[in-house]
Amino acid sequence: MAAILRYLDNLTHTLFGATIARTPLARAGRGTTAALLLASNAPDVDIVATAGGAVKYLEWHRGPTHGPLGVVGLAVLSAAIVWWGRRIYDRRIDARTGDDTAAADRPGDASFAMLVGVSMIGIVLHVLMDLPTVYGTRPLSPFSWRWYAVDWMPIIDIYLLAALGVGLLGRPTPAQARAKATFVLLLMATNYGVRAAAHHQALVAAPQLFGPTLPQPCEGPRPAAGLLESWPAPMPTMRSDGRRCLIEIAAMPSFTSPFKWRIIARTSNAYEMHDIDLLSRHLRDPDGEDDGEVPWRLTLRYPDVWTPTVQAAAGSRVGQVFLGFSRFPAARSALDKEGTTTVRWTDVRFAGGALALNERGGRAGMFTATVRVGADGAIRDQFLGAAR
């Protein structure tokens, strides 16, 4: 499943690069399309980190290749590949036609500087497309390793993918191609706008979903509510009366509809989740008669209990990497008869969905981490996934 999502993610970036290549940017000269296609996928070169294992991949994914140094460095690299590839291609054509003149930049070719500029545009747009997803990105790394996200889009948006794919069908004239690209970009803007409005509405409806069971806010600093979410965030202090308290509420989009969301309420001892359909009549008439459907206020609960042993496990290599990545890490632990405590964190952003099908490590199991701590406090085992 993770491999399919990775393929679809890069397919989306590729189709977007091809769409941008049909805009007036194409007038930069020959090589522009190749540069945009290459640059639109260049930040994901961090997949090479998988050679060091799943933990390395989680540590480096959407890191420096998505930051300022990556934007500049990968733009120069993409431009160099296209520039040299164009020269090699021209030499082969000249050899076939009997022209023994060395290939050089020809009329209509984009200059190297222009290729760098176009590639930089493709890379920046890649990062900006990652930002609205629930996975998020680290656009300031390596200077800051904080994650940022807007929570409008799932990792893969089927509607965005469909619009980009349909927009590239056929063999239009240059004028028609530009018109189709403009139309697709307008569709994209509409899609983002609808999801942004739906995300706001889902957060507004959240208190109605939880009703009187929603606890009072925790004391001290809490994650700031705003357009741009950021993590890891400092934990707020608990309520002075010892009762459970509310840390924050977030809305996660679904793969299937821009109007279906999962509301996550992070409390001092658990994560509570409700699925919501903004088109449901229950939101308009929450006290109406039951029509036999599944109760619309059904809650999915993930305990989040941080014992001293969990705190010790958090200092392990896997614990540090996972907690640096995970936005909502639900902690639970179990003690066996030999005195070993198994500590497990699950990132509830991805709990219960398609990405939870495989919990045995690798990129499919990146959203769960397991650390085993012996009775003496020593780390016995640590890995991504729930089992291996």
Edge-to-edge strand ranges of the sheet holding 329-335: 329-335, 341-347, 368-373, 379-384
Q: 286 and 333 in one domain?
A: no
| Token representation of residue 194 | 């609808």
Instruction: Please check whether residues 62 and 31 belong to one and the same domain.
Output: yes
pTM for this entry: 0.90
The Cα–Cα gap between 302 and 352 comes to 11
Are 327 and 268 within 8 A, CB to CB? no
Residues 22 and 47 in one domain: yes
Please give the distance of CA 207 from its chain centroid, rounded to a whole number: 26
pLDDT given at position 30: 93
The range of the structural domain enclosing residue 372 comes to: 308-384
Which token pair is 339? Answer: 């005195």
Q: How far is CA 5 from CA 153, 157, 158, 283, in A?
A: 14, 10, 11, 32
310-356 confidence digits (pLDDT tens)? 999 999 999 999 999 999 999 999 999 999 999 999 999 998 654 44
- Say if residue 4's pLDDT is above 90: no
Biggest alpha carbon distance in the chain? Answer: 88
Let me know whether 16 and 128 are in one domain: yes
Residue 275's SS3 state is strand
Does residue 44 lie within any of the structural domains? yes
What is the DSSP code (8-state) at residue 237?
B
Q: Contact at 8 Å (CB) between 166 and 160?
A: no
> What pLDDT, in 10s, does the model give residues 293-315?
444 557 789 999 999 999 999 99
Q: Do 364 and 285 share a structural domain?
A: no
User: Got the DSSP string for 286-310?
Assistant: TTS---SSPPTT--EEEE----HHH
Q: At 371, which helix (H) or strand (E)? A: strand 368-373
Q: Which residues contact 106 (CB under 8 A, 6 or more apart)?
A: 30, 90
Same domain, 319 and 257: no
**Same structural domain, 104 and 243:** no
> How high does pLDDT run on average in the chain?
88
Q: What is the pLDDT of residue 221?
A: 65
Give me the number of domains the chain comprises.
Answer: 3
AA letter at 268 = S
Judged by phi (left if over 0) then psi (alpha if -120 to 50, else beta), residue 282 lies in alpha
Helix (H, G, I), strand (E, B) or coil at 269: coil
| The predicted structure's pLDDT at residue 211 | 82
Give the separation between CA 220 and CA 235, rounded to whole angstroms: 9
Domain boundary (247, 265, 298) is at: 298
Residue 203 lies inside a defined structural domain of this protein: yes
Percent of the chain with pLDDT strictly greater than 70: 86
Domain finish residue from 127, 149, 171 = 149
- Residue count of the chain: 388
Predicted confidence (pLDDT) per residue in 42-84, tens digit: 999 999 999 999 999 999 999 999 999 999 999 999 999 999 9
